[in-house]
Each structure stands twice: as structure tokens, then as C-alpha cells.
A and B are shown apart, each in its own frame.
Chain A
């Protein structure tokens, strides 16, 4: 009996949150014209969420939830969940619009502070807190999100749940997938999705949880030129195909008026090791260049027709630093660490865009998010969104949907990942990563909630 009431309370709670979210999104969307007014309006309008929520579409699911509560609690829960799904879909669109309109940083801050500010009167007592569990969790995988994960782990294990020991080793996406598939780790990290054939045969219950987004950018070293250069898909493909071999090529000069290119040979630098970065880079080039698709193709390790190889993001960045005339593709964080200017890349809408965090986040605008929790992984390179940086990708944490055996471990992991998807997003921009857009963040939370041990869900947290 108590379970039933708890479930009802949970659905009511999620409805209240969803409506609050919808409300704040709706109220902030028109206000986006005057970005400075956003926070105040949002806080003011959501002071009394229940009162204003009635005319909204949430009225329908609320009715279903209240009319037959005791008869079939399971069914009520699912219909309510579906209803919230549609509500969130609308909320998502509005939220992404705001994200695109305002600075990504302020948007994240709004997202971060909104729940505490708006839900205070209604659901203060049931606000989600990670459980104080004791567990040892091991993960391995992609090197790109490693700095962020280490910051998360440090804060989480020191200040939030001290009983948990978390260890993430940056061994690369390929190795991370292998370790995860072989059940050597509790979770994996990967910049690319596991091959679908491998998923079916070896890891049928793997879930790709998007955690954060990042951009891959061309890092250029030409002595005497410090201004950010502009690239088009054609010039990038041309350089890496070996068709454009000198920096004084007219195709480069055309996009970069005012830049005095020297007569200097171009040395393209690529990753010699199997890497998620290469996978993103070649996926992009295959989408924008039929030549590239036919001659080279995409993958985590391809045979590059031109240039020299280097191992790891750090290796590419070091090679570029030491070679006059070199260009290499690296994750944005590595270029920032080396103090390199962010370049412009022409996106699918024809705009030249820098890989600033808000532009990277914008790459996910307008994408179709699968409702199947196991199909969240998606390519978002060459996005059609007008302000999107075109060479962007999600980085994923791999978890198992139903084959965890240790309840304690699974619960501790789910709590950490949920924390990463909520509070943790606040660290992203400060480290040069792009936060997940609302829609994807919600989808990731829902996918996380499908993780079960012996049929029982491991986390019961609001999707917000």
C-alpha cells in the first residue's frame, strides 16, 4: 500500500516539476529578446507553479493520474510517464531555443539554479539527494572527457558521497569499449558508439548515456599568423586529402581576406592511434565531401592520404606546436590549453562559427532524440542549426541496462551519473566542454532510470 502511495506521490511530483519546467521555459522564451530579463522573470513566474499550471497541457495527465490511482498503479505510472514525456518535449524545444539565444554559460546557470528556486514551495521535502552508499566503482575509456570526469569524481567523492570510491582511467575510447564489453569495468567512456554488430553480439544491454559535448577543431601553426583562420568544408577536406598543399593556395586566401599567407607547405597531422577524435573528424569530412567518403571514409582509425601521424591528442598538439605550417585536429580543450586561437569553420547553413561552448551545444538543436534508451548515440556533425559548430559530438558513458549483479554498486553508479547530468553540468563550461542541451539531458536521465538489477530500478529520481 505504501508503495502505491509513494508511486502516486512520485508521479505527482514529476508532473509538478515538468509543469514548472515548462512554465519557466515558456516564460523565458519570449524574454530571450531581452536576455538580461530572463532570470528574474523565470523566478517570479514560477513562484506559484500549481496555480498557473492548470491551463497548460499538463492538465490532461494530471487527470489520468488522479482518477484511477489505486486500481492499477503500474499503468498509471506509465501513462503519466508518457504524458510527462510529451510535456518535456515541448519544454525541450523552448529550452533549446533559449540556449541558442542566450550565452550558453548563463543558460546553464539558469538550468542549475532553476530547480532549487522554483520547486522550493512544492517539493522541498523530496528534492533528490544522492544516497550515502559505500561502493568501489571502476571505469575506463575516452581521454577527451577525462579532465571533466576527474573534477566530477573529486568533488563527488570528497563532498557529496564520501563512501564511494570512483576511479576513471583515460585509456582511449576503443579500449574503454573493449573493457566494458568484457565486463572488466563497471562503466565505460567513449566518444563514439559501440559498433551495432558488437552491441548485438557482445553487449546487448549497453546504454550510451550522453554526458557532455565537445568540438574537434583544426589547430594551425604558421609562424607570424596569430589571427583565427577561417575554414570551409572544402578546404579542410582538401588539406587532408592532399589536394591543398600550400598555405598560399587561393582557396584558403578566398575565405581569409586580410591574412597574408606565406609560401609554406601544409603539413597535415593526424592521429596514428585508434581514437574517438578521428572518428568525429572523419565522420564530418565524410558528410561534407563525397571525395573523402569515396577515398577514405570514416572510422576511429583510417588510412590518411596525406600528412604525418602522432599519437594521442597531446601528441598531435605537440607535433603542431613544433612544426611550422602544420595543421592538426584536436579536441578543443587541448588547443585552449596550448593557448591557440579558436578557428572559424563554415557550417551547413553557411555561417562561419567558432567552437565556443554554446555553438557546440547548438549542434544538437533540431536532432531527433530516440525514445529508445539504447539508441541515444547519434552523430551530430555538420548540424543544420544556423549557429552550430559543425564538428561536434557527444561523449558517452556506457552502462548496463540489466546485467549489473551488485545492487549497491549499480545504485551508487546511477546516483553519480544522475548527479553528473544535473549538478555536474555546471562544471562543463568552466573546463571548455559544452553542456548537454535540455532535450538530450532529459533523455539521458530517462535512459539512466531504465537501469535495473533483478528487475528493480536502481534510481528513483525526478527527470528534470
Chain B
């Protein structure tokens, strides 16, 4: 009787443990699959010039090298580099066209990298003060009625689809100013970032022991002083993690950017003009007739993932150095 019971419990335990492991595996498989797939296909587009060059229209002329530099511009035949030495009288044959379309991808996504950093960076500038102060309010004055309302609104906002933020900014900003711009995109991203920053700040501040606040108060510090010099620094690593999450979320968003930033094929420093962004490049390149650009779409996705990963690692290192135990 006792043995049976023990054996049954052990069996159930093993079964449940196995199921949990399986579920964990299932959760990890998509992640590994995505990274692997993006890596294998995207790596075909990755080269040094992919990071240092901007968009180049397809052409089947050979890549310029030191020995054979690019053919100089000829005003009499401005499009000479669209076919490699077209035979006399054969211009426009379908094979030539197929050759141009199937040429190896050229150019890079530097404009997208810079654009994504700019747009998401400005978005963070909008989102940071609002999010952190809202988080402080929610944490330090958590019993006020208004705080409950704000908390609820934050949760609703973080659950709303990103395209909603895009449409809102499109109507409120883009249509009013009659201009697609990087700043409009940043605003749309800020809407998505604010709830993330707010909620992580709040949660991190809540983790700071109440005794620290009491100690500060006991030494005669007013609430604002204890909040900024005692509570906030103690929770900083966690808050930075939340900010990084917000940045990653913003950098990876496509839908709000389609409606607000439009995209561009050049590097622009004017933030009141359309700008390029990696997710937009990925989206547009997948629609391209050129197989080379389809490959570049995977390359751009790969760069985006690496960019977010790199930022995460950098910030982790930075916050670890500044003391405090990161979450």
C-alpha cells in the first residue's frame, strides 16, 4: 500500500517534470529556430559593406575593386552599369533583365541602422521622463486613487496593438504637419515605450526596502530628496533593464513606422523628414522583385536582432560596473 503510493507519486512527479521540460523546450524552439533561420539566410547578405554602405539599386556590374574601380559616369550612357557589356543589339533581351534582377545584392543598411538608433533614441527621450516620473508616482504614492487609475491605463496601453499608436500619431501629427518625419515615428514609439518604462520603474521601486525610505526620513530628508538620492539609485539597474526592454520594443516595431516615418534610402540628419529604419527595410525588401533584396531583408532582420542584443549587453556591463546587483 505504502510502496504503491510512493511509486505512484514518483511516477506523477516524473511525468509532470517531463511535461514541464517539454513545454520549456517548445518555448525555446521558436527562438532558436528564428535566430538560426535569420542567421543562415541573413548571413548571405552580411559583408563589411552591408554595415558601411547605404542603399544601392540592383545592378549586375561587378563590385568595384582596387584593380578595377567602378566605371565612371558616362553622360551618354548613364545606365551602363545595368548590364555587363550588353552585346550589340541585344539590349532589353529577357535574359539581360533576368540577369540584372538576379544579380548579387549590393549596398548596405547603414542608413537603416542610423535611422533605427535615431528614431528609437528620440522615442526614448520622450518616454524616459514621462515613464520614470509616472513610475515614481505609482510606487511612492501607490495608495492614491488616481494611481490605481493610472496603473490600469498603463496596462491597457501596453496591451494595445502597436498599429494603434501609429494611426493615432498619423492623424494627430503627420496629417496636421503634412509631413512624414522621424520625430512622428519617435512619438509613436514613445507611446509604446511609456507603459513599459512606467511599470518596470514602479516594480523596481517597490522592491526597494521600506526601511531605506524610513532611514532617509529619520535623517530628516524630505520625500523628493530621499526618492532621488536613496530610492532611485538603489533601483537603477532594474530600471535600466526596463528602459532597455522599451528600447528593444521600439527598435523592432514596424507597423507604427510605416504610417509615420515612411522610410528613405539615404542617410538623413533632418529628424523632421522621412528616415530609414531597419524594420521598414526588412518589410520593403521582402516585397522586392529582386532575390538579392529578399536576402538583404533577412540581413537587415539579423542586424536589428544583433543591434538590440548588443545594446542589452553593453547596458548590462555598464550597470554592473556602477554597482548594485542587476536583476
Closest to B73 in A: A159
The answer to whether B289 touches A150 (Cβ under 8 A) is: no
The answer to whether B101 touches A333 (Cβ under 8 A) is: yes
Q: Nearest Cβ in chain B — how far from A185, in angstroms?
A: 8
The answer to whether B82 touches A151 (Cβ under 8 A) is: yes
Q: Nearest Cβ in chain B — how far from A129, in angstroms?
A: 10
Q: Nearest Cβ in chain A — how far from B149, in angstroms?
A: 35
Indicate whether A259 reaches chain B with its CB closer than 8 angstroms: no
The answer to whether A431 touches B262 (Cβ under 8 A) is: no
**A167-B264, A337-B289 are known contacts. Are A431 and B180 too (CB-CB below 8 A)?**
no
Per-residue 0/1 for B163-200: is the Cβ within 8 Å of any A Cβ (1 yes, 0 no)? 00000000000110011100000000000000000000
Q: Nearest Cβ in chain A — how far from B106, in angstroms?
A: 10
A-B contact count (CB 8 A): 131
In the complex, A430→B96 CA distance in Å? 7
Tell me which residues from 148 to 180 in chain A have a Cβ below 8 Å from any Cβ of chain B.
150-151, 153-155, 157-160, 165, 167-171, 179
Comparing A47-55, A91-99, A102-110, A232-240, the segment that makes contact with chain B is A102-110
The answer to whether B101 touches A153 (Cβ under 8 A) is: no
Set of chain A residues within 8 Å of B25, measured between Cβ atoms: none
Indicate whether B58 reaches chain A with its CB closer than 8 angstroms: yes
Indicate whether A245 reaches chain B with its CB closer than 8 angstroms: no
The answer to whether B73 touches A430 (Cβ under 8 A) is: no
Per-residue 0/1 for A333-345: is the Cβ within 8 Å of any B Cβ (1 yes, 0 no)? 1101101001000
Indicate whether A147 reaches chain B with its CB closer than 8 angstroms: yes
Q: Nearest Cβ in chain A — how far from B170, in angstroms?
A: 9
The answer to whether A169 touches B289 (Cβ under 8 A) is: no
The answer to whether A337 touches B101 (Cβ under 8 A) is: yes
**Interface size class of chain A, counting residues whose CB lies under 8 Å from the partner chain:** 35 or more
The answer to whether A169 touches B263 (Cβ under 8 A) is: yes
The answer to whether B262 touches A150 (Cβ under 8 A) is: no
Set of chain B residues within 8 Å of A143, measured between Cβ atoms: 287
For the complex, count residues of B whose C-beta is within 8 A of A: 48
Comparing A62-70, A377-385, A421-429, A445-453, the segment that makes contact with chain B is A421-429
In the complex, A154→B89 CA distance in Å? 26
The answer to whether A313 touches B79 (Cβ under 8 A) is: no
The answer to whether A314 touches B174 (Cβ under 8 A) is: no
Indicate whether B274 reaches chain A with its CB closer than 8 angstroms: yes
The answer to whether A109 touches B78 (Cβ under 8 A) is: no
Contact of B78 among A103, A113, A155, A184 (CB under 8 A): A155
The answer to whether B284 touches A169 (Cβ under 8 A) is: yes
Closest to A419 in B: B78
The answer to whether B284 touches A170 (Cβ under 8 A) is: yes
Set of chain A residues within 8 Å of B268, measured between Cβ atoms: 136, 165
The answer to whether B57 touches A151 (Cβ under 8 A) is: yes
Closest to B82 in A: A430
The answer to whether A431 touches B73 (Cβ under 8 A) is: no
Set of chain A residues within 8 Å of B288, measured between Cβ atoms: 146-147, 314
**A138-B273, A150-B57 are known contacts. Are A342 and B73 too (CB-CB below 8 A)?**
no
Per-residue 0/1 for A233-259: is the Cβ within 8 Å of any B Cβ (1 yes, 0 no)? 000000000000000000000000000
In the complex, A312→B98 CA distance in Å? 20
Indicate whether A221 reaches chain B with its CB closer than 8 angstroms: no
Contact of A333 among B83, B92, B289 (CB under 8 A): B289
Indicate whether B215 reaches chain A with its CB closer than 8 angstroms: no
Q: Nearest Cβ in chain A — how far from B207, in angstroms?
A: 45
Set of chain A residues within 8 Å of B77, measured between Cβ atoms: 426
The answer to whether B79 touches A357 (Cβ under 8 A) is: no
**A155-B79, A430-B100 are known contacts. Are A182 and B289 too (CB-CB below 8 A)?**
no
Contact of A337 among B90, B174, B264, B290 (CB under 8 A): B290
Closest to A312 in B: B287
The answer to whether B82 touches A427 (Cβ under 8 A) is: yes
In the complex, A184→B262 CA distance in Å? 10
In the complex, A165→B174 CA distance in Å? 21
The answer to whether B175 touches A334 (Cβ under 8 A) is: no
Contact of B289 among A171, A314, A356, A357 (CB under 8 A): A314
In the complex, A170→B263 CA distance in Å? 9
Indicate whether A267 reaches chain B with its CB closer than 8 angstroms: no
Indicate whether A432 reaches chain B with its CB closer than 8 angstroms: yes
The answer to whether B178 touches A184 (Cβ under 8 A) is: yes
Set of chain A residues within 8 Å of B94, measured between Cβ atoms: 336, 342, 356, 432
Q: Nearest Cβ in chain A — how far from B182, in angstroms?
A: 12
Indicate whether A365 reaches chain B with its CB closer than 8 angstroms: no
Q: Nearest Cβ in chain A — how far from B90, in angstroms?
A: 8
The answer to whether B91 touches A154 (Cβ under 8 A) is: no
In the complex, A171→B263 CA distance in Å? 10
Indicate whether B102 reaches chain A with its CB closer than 8 angstroms: yes
Per-residue 0/1 for A58-96: is the Cβ within 8 Å of any B Cβ (1 yes, 0 no)? 000000000000000000000000000000000000000
Indicate whether A183 reaches chain B with its CB closer than 8 angstroms: yes
Closest to B265 in A: A167
Indicate whether A14 reaches chain B with its CB closer than 8 angstroms: no
Set of chain B residues within 8 Å of A119, measured between Cβ atoms: none
- Which one of A146, A314, A342 has the greatest number of beta carbons of chain B within 10 Å? A314
Closest to A109 in B: B91
- Which one of B58, B101, B268 has the greatest number of beta carbons of chain A within 10 Å? B101
Indicate whether B97 reaches chain A with its CB closer than 8 angstroms: yes
The answer to whether B92 touches A165 (Cβ under 8 A) is: no
Q: Nearest Cβ in chain A — how far from B10, in angstroms?
A: 49
**A170-B284, A171-B258, A336-B98 are known contacts. Are A429 and B178 too (CB-CB below 8 A)?**
no
Contact of B102 among A136, A150, A337, A357 (CB under 8 A): A337
- A-B pairs, top 3 by smallest CB distance, nearest first, are A429-B92, A337-B101, A105-B92
5 contacts between A and B (CB under 8 A): A151-B79, A185-B262, A337-B291, A431-B100, A432-B94
Chain A residues engaging chain B, CB cutoff 8 angstroms: 103-106, 109, 113, 116, 136, 138, 140, 143, 146-147, 150-151, 153-155, 157-160, 165, 167-171, 179, 182-185, 312-315, 317, 331, 333-334, 336-337, 339, 342, 356-357, 423, 426-427, 429-432
